[in-house]
Every structure is written in structure tokens, then in C-alpha cells.
Amino acid sequence: MQGAIVVWGGARPQIMQIDVGNDMELSGHCYCGAIRYTAQPDIKARIQCCCRECQYISGGNPNVMLALPSDSFRYETGVVKQFTRLDVANPVVREFCPICGTHLLSRSPRLPGLVLVKVGTLDQPALFDKPDFVQFISECQAFHVVPDGVPAYEGRRPAQGGSLSGQTVE
Ligand SMILES: [Zn+2]
Ligand SMILES: [Zn+2]
């Protein structure tokens, strides 16, 4: 797995490519640092979602997430607050820092056994690289960017084979 590290110092930060072995643990935290987590780097999908709901979550741009096995994800410090909408079918459970409000992950009833970790909370966000697919492009704003050469779907990605077999993603 390839990653990148930013080295500060000198006139400009340098970006160096690093090799991140499969045994390197992922880690991350909320903006204030009260919530910290670790996870195994067993990435099941790299997702970009442009839906209107995700625009609230991300601050306006598409939301980017890593799908990771929930059994290898662990909060190390802090206690998150959960939020679930009651006005939609099959709502996701969203977990936030109760102090700074950072959204850390969601758990979808459509994806049992996985957590969808928000890439911006990772200590190694460069690991995302680019999405495997983009969904809900029908709800994109004019200023959203959908990468070239990546499968893009009008709505939720249809169920298909692969690591998220038979499931759709929210
Ligand atoms: Zn926080
Ligand atoms: Zn979305």
C-alpha cells in the first residue's frame, strides 16, 4: 500500500511517498483530540458520496470514507455521541465527538460489519488516494469534482460482486 507523508520545514512542505505495509495500523482522531481510534488497514472500499445529506456532513463538498471492518475498529479514548435520523428509512448511525462536533464515522444497516470512517479524521488521510466509485452524482453541486476514470452512479451504487457483495452503500 502506498502512502504519503508531508515533511514540514524549509520554504515549502515536502511530500514524500512512503510504503505503508498491510500490517500498519490506521489511526485517527477528532479535531480537538478527545476521541482517538485505531483500526486495521483492511480497506474494503474507498467511497465518495455526493448526496445532499453528505454535503451537510462534509461542510459542502462530497463526503469521502473508508469502509473498514467494524471488528478491527476501536475507540482508544473518549466517548462518542451518536445521531440517527428518524425521518428516513434505513438511517445510518453517525458518531461524533461531543466536544468539537467532528463526525468520525457512520454505521449503515446496508453494510453490516463495516464502519465508514471519514477520511479527514485519519492520521494518514493520503491513504485514501482516490475513490473506488462515486455515488449520488445526481445531487452534485456545480463546484463538486468527480475524478476521471472512476465509476460514478446517479444514486446509490447498485449491489454487485466484490468485497461489498450484494450490498449497496450509503
Ligand atoms: Zn473532538
Ligand atoms: Zn451521502
Q: SS3 for 106?
A: strand
Does the pLDDT at position 128 exceed 80?
A: yes
Q: Report the pLDDT value the prediction gives residue 109, as an integer from 0 to 100.
A: 94
Does the pLDDT at position 163 exceed 60?
A: no
Cα 160 to averaged position of ligand 1 atoms, centre (Å): 36
Q: Report the pLDDT value the prediction gives residue 125, as an integer from 0 to 100.
A: 96
Does the pLDDT at position 80 exceed 60?
A: yes
Ligand nearest to the CA of 134: 2
Cα 122 to averaged position of ligand 1 atoms, centre (Å): 13
Query: What residue spans define the domains of the chain?
Result: 25-139
Cα 124 to averaged position of ligand 2 atoms, centre (Å): 22
Q: pLDDT band at 166, cuts 50/70/90?
A: very low
Summarize the confidence of residues 53-73 as an average pLDDT.
96
Helices (H) and strands (E) in the chain, counts: 1, 12
Letter for the amino acid at 83?
F
Cα 78 to averaged position of ligand 2 atoms, centre (Å): 26
**pLDDT tens per residue across span 131-150:** 999 999 999 999 999 999 99
Ligand nearest to the CA of 32: 1
Ligand nearest to the CA of 58: 2
Does the pLDDT at position 73 exceed 50?
A: yes
Architecture (CATH level 2) of domain 25-139: Beta Complex (2.170)
For residues 124 and 130, the answer to whether their CB atoms sit within 8 Å is no
Q: Report the pLDDT value the prediction gives residue 117, as an integer from 0 to 100.
A: 98
Alpha carbon distance, N-terminus to C-terminus of the chain: 25
**pLDDT tens per residue across span 15-33:** 444 444 556 799 999 999 9
